[in-house]
Amino acid sequence: MASLSQSARKLLEEKNFAFLGTLNKDGSPQVTPTWVGTDGKNVLINVATHRQKFKNVSRDPRVAVAVVDMKDPYKGIIIRGKVASIVRGKEAEDQDDELAIKYLGHKQNRKPNTHRAVLKIEPSKIVETD
């Protein structure tokens, strides 16, 4: 497992967007822009469980995540790794609220019957760009 540097953690903690790459069933890539966070060790991405990215990582946990600094688009990180665990339920909903506050400034109204999950991504390789 690769460790997140202080600058990588800062990019994940700030209001920067991530691009999550997963693998479709046929092996083709699927990329989604998304909100991102960290617990200091893992990359945390919150997803609705009916989305393609969730189906993909449930089948194949290998992912890539790219994050670009919104203030300096030449600075960023590229992380390869795997989804080491998936958290559901209240913890996932609470983390979704935290991300909404970070990106929107307030909690968002979830659609009824939308189930959330937190993808805890364990980095295996981290490349910092600048």
Q: Residue 113's pLDDT band (boundaries 50, 70, 90)?
A: confident
For residue 8, the Cα-to-chain-centroid distance in whole angstroms is: 13
Is residue 121 a contact partner of residue 63, using CB atoms and an 8 Å limit? yes
Question: Which residues, in sequence order, are bridge partners of residue 48?
Answer: 116
Q: Pick from 11, 81, 22: which is nearest to 47 by CA?
A: 22
Please report whether residue 1 resides in a domain: no
Where in the sequence is the domain holding 19, given as residue range(s)?
A: 6-129
Look at residue 15 and tell me whether its pLDDT is greater than 90.
yes
The 8-class DSSP code of residue 78 comes to E
SS3 of residue 42 by DSSP: coil
pLDDT value of position 111 = 79
Is residue 95 a contact partner of residue 35, using CB atoms and an 8 Å limit? no
Please report whether residue 55 resides in a domain: yes
Q: What is the CATH number of the domain that holds 73?
A: 2.30.110.10
Please report whether residue 91 resides in a domain: yes
Please report whether residue 23 resides in a domain: yes
Q: How many domains would you assign to the chain? A: 1
Please report whether residue 106 resides in a domain: yes
Please report whether residue 89 resides in a domain: yes
Looking at residues 33-46, what average pLDDT do you find? Answer: 97
Q: Residue 104's pLDDT band (boundaries 50, 70, 90)?
A: very high
| H-only helix segments in 1-130 | 6-13, 52-59, 90-104
- Using only C-alpha atoms, the chain has a radius of gyration, in whole angstroms, of 14
What is the H or E stretch that residue 72 is in? strand 72-88
Structure tokens at 70: 């919104």
Q: Residue 57's pLDDT band (boundaries 50, 70, 90)?
A: very high
Please report whether residue 108 resides in a domain: yes
Residue 106: count of CB within 10 angstroms of its CB: 9
Please report whether residue 115 resides in a domain: yes
